[in-house]
Amino acid sequence: MLPVQRQSRTQGRNRRSHDALTARKAVVCPSCGSPKLPHAACAECGYVRPGLKLSVSRDND
């Protein structure tokens, strides 16, 4: 089924006004101070939350 009338430029742009992508925010790891993604383990030290620390394997590239 096709639209009966064409949508104006303004209406189309207003509809797409919420489609913009946002950059991922990084937070500071409280354990080592390196940047990490929120709700994720730190790549440097393995810190997740107080009382939980994951072992992080480092690849020698």
Helix (H, G, I), strand (E, B) or coil at 59: coil
Tell me how far the alpha carbon of residue 61 is from its chain's centroid. 26
Domain edges within the chain:
23-61
Cα separations in angstroms, 29 against 13, 26, 40, 52: 39, 9, 10, 13
* Beta strands in 1-61, from DSSP E residues, in sequence order: 27-28, 35-36, 47-49, 52-53
pLDDT, position 54: 74
Distances (CA, A) of 25 to 12, 28, 56: 29, 10, 22
Digit-by-digit pLDDT tens for the chain (61 residues) are 677 888 899 999 999 999 999 999 999 999 899 999 999 988 888 888 887 777 777 666 5
pTM above 0.85, yes or no: no
